[in-house]
Amino acid sequence: MFPRFTDGEPSRLTGYAGNPLDRHSELRDAADFRPAAIVTPGARFLVIGTGEAVLSRDAGRLDLGLDRAAAATLEADEERAVFLGNTPDGTPWLALPSPATLDSLSGTGFERIDARALLTGGELDEASLGILAQARAVLDWHDRHGFCARCGTATLAAASGWRRECPNCGAQHFPRTDPVAIMLVVHGENCLLGRQPRFAAGMYSCLAGFIEPGETIEDAVRREVREESGIAVGRVAYHASQPWPFPSSLMIGCYGEATSEAITVDELELEDCRWFPRAEVASMLDGTHPDGLRAAGIGAIARRLIEDWCRAV
Amino acid sequence: MFPRFTDGEPSRLTGYAGNPLDRHSELRDAADFRPAAIVTPGARFLVIGTGEAVLSRDAGRLDLGLDRAAAATLEADEERAVFLGNTPDGTPWLALPSPATLDSLSGTGFERIDARALLTGGELDEASLGILAQARAVLDWHDRHGFCARCGTATLAAASGWRRECPNCGAQHFPRTDPVAIMLVVHGENCLLGRQPRFAAGMYSCLAGFIEPGETIEDAVRREVREESGIAVGRVAYHASQPWPFPSSLMIGCYGEATSEAITVDELELEDCRWFPRAEVASMLDGTHPDGLRAAGIGAIARRLIEDWCRAV
């Protein structure tokens, strides 16, 4: 077991893993906790309206954390604030949904930028990306879960934004996080990469799929690979994880050892799937592939899996 | 990465990990797939009514899989059947909710047994336990998710029981699986175990908690341990996972290396939490502890983590 410890933690090198906030989940239930955070001098408000974050720009640098007065000008409703956590210096961060339109921002000095574009765009530092990923996932959960799945009644937010409660049947609902198995399957000096039709031209990546009720992580890896590629996988080793707020996944990255070679592509899921030699993958990572092929996007855990395998001796 | 492979797979040794079914998720969407499975000669039906499984007993041995005629006598509604998967010989298994009451079973030769008691009771083999865990999790999800969380409308089952669809807003809903981080924190020759008030007398186990939006597995381990015990954790290593159908968790078992020693117990969560030397833990596992203390229940992933640490050199 313990020999599995390595010198570094691969999960820390995945996108959105740099969130520095202390969530203080043990304090969320106190009725006066969120109100006190909102009025704390210096509190920061991350405002998101219909998928777009509202940011200020100071000397070219984007800033996610508005002050309370600025959030108020965006008609953000403090009753819907979610307490995200405190920075190490004790500054509270809160997420706020906003009805602000592009028109209403005219002349305010604020910019609206699609949250997904921000999360994939490289303009924010790791700490800001981590906070934005947390905020987007939980606000999106509120947006899509306003009614009780058990009885259909409109629910109410509680616990500083981390629970919804049904006033009819009493059910409590918590933010949903969907575990996804994502895997690099290897066979000697080759690894298995696939292409979904929606990928950019030339892009290949790891196979992946949702872990289902009644499965271990390892069994889900073997099932997904068998379904998508026809390849049989024996041993599976966990490598790294990543929060993926599109909308609410926990990516669980593994290596799998193939015990067969012949590929049968599931054409509903993939438009191509094949074995790539390690040297070719290296050229796909560093942008020197003769046909312009590439391997996984920056920030994606698939790239972590592929790079770490490619560099392994 | 690859040196992390061990000779065995710890997840295979956790409870409910022995499910032998091929789920054929790629076939579920075909309209004629589930109906064809239902009428396949030899198809097996796992019937669960209000939390209790209906079983037959043959020469003292409990059998989860009823035939179609037997399921019909229990008024199980085939329209609500969930396709679980095929055994390696091609026999389909389906899960069926039943309104059958204890009275209606009188004289039928069937027994009703609480599903949780079966899952923890040791009367079933690993394959049956795995199938029951899958069936219970997905039927329970249908029970608790009959309405659209987005708009409150009653939803309809689809995809052979693996999806619910909203006839009003078109939202698709999938079975929920909640990732939980469960961890054995170690410090030299000691490990950290806690007691929840609901535990049986003398029982101690690993700390655990739900992984939240925006967290890696490793960050969730560090947060939970800090919140519940005040202990700081540095390195984290994944060890094993386990499906835990009470009601819908994926237990993700890790080791964590403590970087502090002084414990501050979160008294809302735990009634005790302390360091135990390895030799004492060994006596808690084998039932020879002088004060009758015990460590985690059989089948729980906590026991896997504790045993494997205890045996490590």
In chain A, what residues touch B212 (CB-CB under 8 Å)?
23, 25, 134, 162, 175, 177
Report residue B178's pLDDT band, with 50, 70 and 90 as the boundaries.
Answer: very high
Q: What is the pLDDT of residues A252-288, one digit of tens each?
A: 999 999 999 999 999 888 999 999 999 999 999 999 9
Report residue B2's pLDDT band, with 50, 70 and 90 as the boundaries.
Answer: very low
CA-to-CA distance for A274 and A266, rounded, in angstroms?
Answer: 12
- Picking from A177, A228, A251 by the largest number of B CB atoms within 10 A of its own CB, the best residue to mutate is A177
Interchain pair B130, A214: CB under 8 A:
yes
Q: Which two tokens stand for residue A206?
A: 């790891």
Phi, psi (deg, nearest 5) at residue A177: -130, 120
A:B CB pairs within 8 Å: 209
- Picking from A19, A93, A212, A306 by the largest number of B CB atoms within 10 A of its own CB, the best residue to mutate is A212
In chain B, what residues touch A148 (CB-CB under 8 Å)?
147, 149, 152
pLDDT at B104 over 70: no
Q: What is the pLDDT of residues B204-255, one digit of tens each?
A: 999 999 999 999 999 999 999 999 999 999 999 999 999 999 889 999 999 9
- Note whether A141 and A82 are within 8 A (CB): no
pLDDT at A2 over 50: no
In chain A, what residues touch B241 (CB-CB under 8 Å)?
216-218
Q: In terms of CA atoms, which chain B residue is nearest residue A147?
A: B149
Positive or negative CA dihedral for A307, A308, A309, A313?
positive
Q: In terms of CA atoms, which chain A residue is nearest residue B247?
A: A213
Q: In terms of CA atoms, which chain A residue is nearest residue B142?
A: A150
Q: Which two tokens stand for residue B144?
A: 């608790």
How confident is the model at residue B103, as a pLDDT?
Answer: 64
Which amino acid is present at A283? S
E strand or H helix at A277: strand A272-277
Interchain pair A238, B238: CB under 8 A:
yes
* Mean pLDDT within B55-76: 84
Q: How far is CA B226 from CA A104, A215, B196, B256, B259, in A?
A: 43, 29, 16, 11, 11
B303 Rama class: left (phi>0) / alpha (psi -120 to 50) / beta: alpha
Q: Least CB-CB distance to B177: which of A3, A151, A178? A: A178
What distance in Å separates residue A15's CA from the closest CA in chain B?
10
Q: Which of A7-21, B5-19, B183-197, B227-241 has the lowest mean pLDDT?
A: B5-19
User: Of chain A residues 270-309, which have a CB less than 8 A from chain B?
Assistant: 308-309
CA-to-CA distance for B172 and B159, rounded, in angstroms?
Answer: 11
- Note whether B135 and B44 are within 8 A (CB): no
Contacts of B95 (CB under 8 A, 6+ apart): B45, B46, B47, B48, B81, B82, B84, B134, B135, B138, B139, B161
Q: Which two tokens stand for residue A264?
A: 């049968």
Which residues pair with residue A144 across a beta bridge? none
How confident is the model at residue B102, as a pLDDT?
Answer: 59
Report residue B162's pLDDT band, with 50, 70 and 90 as the boundaries.
Answer: very high
Q: Which two tokens stand for residue B133?
A: 């865990």
Q: Is the pLDDT higher at A160 or at B48?
A: A160
User: Of chain B residues 155-184, which have a CB less than 8 A from chain A?
Assistant: 162, 171, 173-179
A12 touching B, CB under 8 A? yes
Cα B95 off chain centre by = 16
Q: Which two tokens stand for residue A16?
A: 């959105």
How confident is the model at residue B172, as a pLDDT?
Answer: 97
CA-to-CA distance for A194 and A280, rounded, in angstroms?
Answer: 14
pLDDT at A1 over 60: no
Q: For residue B302, give the nearest of B173, B158, B212, B182 by alpha carbon.
A: B182
Q: For residue A240, give the nearest of A14, A3, A7 by alpha carbon.
A: A14
Interchain pair B218, A11: CB under 8 A:
yes
- Note whether B81 and B161 are within 8 A (CB): yes
How confident is the model at residue B313, as a pLDDT?
Answer: 60
What distance in Å separates residue B149's CA from the closest CA in chain A?
5
How confident is the model at residue B7, as a pLDDT?
Answer: 57
Interstrand relation of B92-97 and B82-86 (parallel, antiparallel or unpaired)? antiparallel
How confident is the model at residue B3, as a pLDDT?
Answer: 32
CA-to-CA distance for B242 and A217, rounded, in angstroms?
Answer: 8
Q: Least CB-CB distance to B179: which of A14, A250, A309? A: A250
How confident is the model at residue A7, as a pLDDT?
Answer: 58
Q: In terms of CA atoms, which chain A residue is nearest residue B135?
A: A214
ipTM reported for the complex, 2 dp: 0.94
pLDDT at A104 over 80: no
User: Of chain B residues 68-87, which have a CB less than 8 A from chain A?
Assistant: none
Q: What is the pLDDT of residues B260-272, one digit of tens each?
A: 999 999 988 899 9
CA-to-CA distance for A233 and A255, rounded, in angstroms?
Answer: 10
* Location of structure tokens 């006839």: B167
**3-class DSSP assignment, residue B72:** helix
Which residues pair with residue B73 across a beta bridge? none
Interchain pair A255, B26: CB under 8 A:
no
Report residue A195's pLDDT band, with 50, 70 and 90 as the boundaries.
Answer: very high
Q: For residue A119, give the nearest of A253, A308, A252, A300 by alpha carbon.
A: A300
Q: In terms of CA atoms, which chain A residue is nearest residue B17?
A: A216
In chain B, what residues touch A268 (CB-CB under 8 Å)?
26
Q: Is the pLDDT higher at A301 or at A61?
A: A301
How confident is the model at residue B52, as a pLDDT?
Answer: 83
CA-to-CA distance for B58 and B236, rounded, in angstroms?
Answer: 47
Q: In terms of CA atoms, which chain A residue is nearest residue B171?
A: A144
Positive or negative CA dihedral for A255, A258, A262, A268?
negative
* Mean pLDDT within A66-83: 89
Interchain pair A213, B175: CB under 8 A:
yes
Q: Which two tokens stand for residue A279?
A: 């040297």
Q: How far is CA A144 from CA A155, B195, B273, in A?
A: 12, 36, 38
Cα B185 off chain centre by = 22
pLDDT at B74 over 90: no
User: Of chain B residues 217-246, which have a CB less than 8 A from chain A?
Assistant: 217-219, 223, 227, 235-243, 245
